[in-house]
């Protein structure tokens, strides 16, 4: 289990409580920025891995085809209640799902998910995203990160995150580079109402999966 679920974190398991917490931190303004980075228009397809209550969908243009899945049944229910037929939502774990029947996507999004996953889980997410993406598509990830010169408040908040696999930007990028030929990592600060440091990855040019088993001579 790569995320904390006891004590105060139990409260965040409810979709409404998680969303209220995100809103208090200023996530709405940040989601507008994410939507601009995604740069999608009507007719394009977005897959949101670990979508939570799918708050990002409020900021995507009408006509975007949105698919989101999450391990949490409560968050998936909150996404359905909030957006109805505007998106497709289902419960699944990154490590145990196949998306082959869904076709290719223009963008894959994983906002705040990699730091909930150990290295095997993070590799599974990158495998899923690379396989689901159109060759010209982009995987965008966002996660809290360790960074030089980080303030004590940001460090303290990140140390108490539910996700237990926070890395530095290089650590996130190294995992993505196994499945993407072009990975751009950016450290962002000042995007929430509290001091916070996060890594944004823009991953392009998905690679074919590594061959399994012995290589024939
Ligand atoms: C910090 S929340 C982010 C939610 C949403 N992306 C957002 O930006 O509000 C992390 C999400 O990842 C989901 N998650 C964690 N581990 C997962 C896994 N193994 N498979 C699918 N979803 C997972 C959690 O249920 C949670 O909704």
Torsion sign across C-alpha atoms 213, 1, 150, 52: positive
Q: How far is the CA of 70 from the centre of ligand 1 (A)?
A: 6
140 within 8 A of 202, measured Cβ to Cβ: yes
pLDDT per position in the chain (217 positions), as tens? 466 666 666 666 777 777 777 877 778 889 999 999 999 999 999 999 999 999 999 999 999 999 999 999 999 999 999 999 999 999 999 999 989 899 999 999 999 999 999 999 999 999 999 999 999 999 999 999 999 999 999 999 999 988 999 999 999 999 999 999 999 999 999 888 888 999 999 999 999 876 544 444 3
CATH fold of the domain at 15-206: Rossmann fold (3.40.50)
Give ligand 1 pocket residues (Cβ under 6 A): 3, 22, 50-52, 55, 70-72, 75, 93-95, 111-113, 116-117, 121
CA of 184 to the centre of ligand 1 (A): 22
Angle (nearest 5°) at CA 76 between 37 and 71: 90
Find the 143 Cα to ligand 1 centroid distance in Å. Answer: 11
């Amino acid at each position: 289990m790569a995320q904390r679920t006891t004590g105060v974190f139990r409260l965040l398991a409810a979709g409404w409580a998680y969303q209220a917490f995100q809103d208090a931190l200023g996530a709405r303004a940040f989601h507008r920025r994410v939507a601009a980075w995604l740069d999608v228009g009507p007719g394009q397809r977005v897959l949101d891995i670990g979508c939570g209550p799918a708050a990002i969908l409020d900021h995507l243009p009408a006509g975007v085809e949105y698919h989101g899945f999450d391990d949490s049944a409560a968050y998936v229910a909150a996404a359905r209640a909030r957006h109805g037929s505007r998106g497709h939502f289902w419960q699944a774990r990154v490590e145990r799902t196949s998306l082959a029947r869904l076709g290719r996507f223009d963008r894959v999004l994983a906002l705040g998910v990699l730091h909930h996953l150990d290295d095997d889980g993070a590799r599974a997410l990158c495998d899923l995203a690379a396989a689901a993406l159109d060759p010209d598509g982009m995987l965008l990830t966002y996660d809290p990160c360790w960074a030089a010169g980080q303030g004590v408040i940001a460090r303290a908040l990140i140390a108490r995150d539910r996700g237990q696999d926070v890395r530095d930007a290089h650590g996130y990028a190294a995992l993505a580079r196994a499945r993407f030929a072009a990975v751009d990592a950016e450290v962002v600060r000042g995007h929430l109402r509290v001091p916070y440091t996060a890594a944004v990855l823009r991953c392009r040019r998905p690679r074919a999966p590594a061959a399994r088993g012995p290589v024939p001579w």
